[in-house]
Amino acid sequence: MPEKISVIVSTYNNPQVLEMVLRSLAAQRRRGSTAYEVVVADDGSGPDTAALIGRLRGELDYPLLHAWQADTGFRLAESRNNALLAASGDYVVFIDGDCLVLPDFIATHARLAQAGCFVAGARCYIKKRKTAAILAAPQRWWRPSRLPWFFRALLGGANRPFQLLALPDTARRHRHPGRWQKVQTCNLGVWRADIERVDGFDATYVGHGLEDSDFILRLLRAGLRRKSGRFASVVLHLWHPRPGAVQSPNVGHFQALLDSGRTLPVTGLAALRDKAAAA
């Protein structure tokens, strides 16, 4: 099992929801022997987010770090690399800043962690009406529990209710060891050494889409195997408006990776370290 887990939470100008996520990470029931910290990967939020994190540092019982970068557009890949430079865990779990976690989230990722693998978790989408109720009274929802949410989902509060059931580990978790498709960084566990092996995320991805696919494909090319965290590790994704179907501006970047045999990014962690050292 990992000695220490770094949970990297991506955010941008959404402090109300970020507070709910950070408090759900404080409501972990079964920590076992695995320590953890939380690093907020902030893609240029305003002062309200920094104020929130400063306040919560005195209230939450885990180390809370803030990795901020200037707001020059959607730069999620570089934002996560910034957070990785601040993280100190030997295992890293990535989630999004609009995803609540269950009380066994840390313990489940610690249990699923396996040498030579990354763990692709699942998510359930909370419906619009239920999300509105949560945001109207957030204190009631800081401790989302698995069984109550299973019944809420069955009654129409969220989709994929059966993802909220915790099933035992079997060989089925390794059914698609080389598949990069549909692995998302809203719930992903990776050993830090393996992240270093592929030099983190590719910061040339600007705008929404495919930066996670790039990362996963390079992990697979480096010899990692996909392990499924479905029916074990799940996050609860709050509803928010989504843009219509548009092609990602990063299609060309990802096609260039597909056409190559690269395991390293065009611009990754090493370049960010060099930039920080030169500053």
- Write out pLDDT tens, residues 29-65: 865 678 999 999 999 999 999 999 999 999 999 999 9
Quick check: 25 pLDDT over 80? yes
- Model's pTM, two decimal places? 0.95
Per-residue pLDDT at 168: 87
Residue position matching structure tokens 């690399």: 81
Q: Which amino acid is at 1?
A: M
pLDDT of residue 116 exceeding 80: yes
Cα(20)–Cα(97) distance, integer angstroms? 9
Q: Please give the average per-residue pLDDT across 173-202, as a whole number.
A: 96
pLDDT at 243: 63
Distance, in Å, from the CA atom of 78 to the CA atom of 224, rounded to the nearest integer, reads: 22
The predicted structure's pLDDT at residue 201: 98
pLDDT computed for residue 271 by the predictor: 96
Query: Can you read off the two tokens belonging to residue 111?
Result: 């249990």
Instruction: Determine the angle formed by the axes of helices 47-57 and 15-26, rounding to 10 degrees.
Output: 20
Mean pLDDT of the chain: 94
For residue 137, the Cα-to-chain-centroid distance in whole angstroms is 25
Q: What's the half-sphere exposure (Cβ side, CA atoms, 13 Å) at 120? A: 24
DSSP label of 267? S
233 φ/ψ angles, rounded to the nearest 5 degrees: -100, 115
In angstroms, the CA 169 to CA 217 distance is 24
- pLDDT at residue 140, rounded to an integer: 84
Average pLDDT over residues 123-131: 95
Mean pLDDT within 194-215: 96
Please provide the DSSP assignment of 218-236 as one string. HHHHTT-EEEE-TTTSEEE
The partner residues of 190 in beta bridges, in order of sequence, read 92
| Beta bridge pairs of residue 234 | 122
pLDDT in tens, 154-167: 999 999 999 999 99
Whether residue 95 is predicted with pLDDT greater than 80 in this model: the reply is: yes
Structure tokens at 252: 């060309």
What pLDDT shows up at residue 30? 62
What value does the mean pLDDT take over residues 98-125? 96
Strands (E), the chain: 4-11, 35-42, 64-68, 91-96, 99-101, 117-120, 122-125, 187-191, 225-228, 234-237
